Amino acid sequence: MATAGLYRRVLPSPPAMEFSSAEGKQLFCEALQQGTMEGFFTLISHFQTQCEPAYCGLASLAMVLNALAIDPGRKWKGPWRWFDESMLDCCEPLEEVKVKGTTFGTVACLALCAGAKVEPFRTNELTVDDFRSHIVRCTSSQHIHLIASYHRRPFKQTGAGHFSPIGGYHAEKDMVLILDVARFKYPPHWVPLSLLWEAMDTVDEATGLRRGFMLISKTRISPSVLYTLSCRNESCVRMAKYLIENIPSLLESKNPNTISEIVSLVLTAFPIECQDLLRQGSETRGAEENYSDSVGPAVASPASRTYGKEAASAPLVPPYGVEVPLVVPLPPVVPVRPALVEDSTQLVERFLHLQPPTYS
């Protein structure tokens, strides 16, 4: 009796070239000599198959986070700390991701919450030549990786939107190696860079925005003074709005001349709703120091996600890349009119563009 279901798909070739084919192996050897397969080895050491049909974004991110040796700071199974798709749930419930997949902005949000440095780019923000430069930079290093968000149609593949890491680049042929995390469907394969750009330069119907790619690297900021809260935490969202929208307007209108004037201006206009964020950071830091005094040097570990007013449990990079002052004497606070509601993942993406690029 025939078994129901599907066993893989035949990779349309051309335009793709299977990695394990004779031609694919030749491209690998030549790219290796050119020095644009450096990132391949850390990625292939952590290559995984997405565990759900709609988990391509989560699987790609977990693979890259593990390749960068970022400690999640919480257990996966048994005593082991390790990134798994099931742990990437702070920006969107996994049950929703199973049904509808995830968006470009949400994957960027998850990467930042996990403690990585993220540089997201949509195709309407740069050119194909810029993309090629980023590809060369990432494939020439083991310390920064690129996840592409693209539509399968230009490759004549079945399916729609998809995420996968890029594992290498062949300069002479101008081809990139896609480490497809849907390994139950297609194997890793080489594609022309220009065609990948075309596949990324499509609109995601869920958001109405263009797809693109993101560069992910290990943050160089010491984790001991930073904390992570869920991007669904209201205080955290308010804080991000204050830093992105209110502070630039304040500085432009008041035109402070000294550091003291700037600090005073920023703290005086500090939103009431954000005081909980500082209080949580202060209480968590105090608990950490007390624990360190009682048991010796503590091993820094990232915070697990929190909801509402629940405090973060350990240090890491905050969701919006903002260093949170832990103990600050605040002057009288002037209430600020609440900003209009904005999707938190889009807010994260906007804030990421305010950060200077990270080069390894």
Residues classed as catalytic: 56, 162, 180
CA distance 175 to 107: 25
Half-sphere exposure of 325 (CA within 13 A, CB side): 10
CA distance 229 to 309: 10
CA 32 centroid distance within chain: 27
CA 83 centroid distance within chain: 13
If you write DSSP's letter for every residue of 285-329 in order, what string do you get?
HHHHHHHHHHHSSPPP-PPPP--TTPPP-SB---TTS-PPPSS--
Residue pair 314/288 in contact by the 8 Å Cβ criterion: yes
Tokens of 254: 């008041």
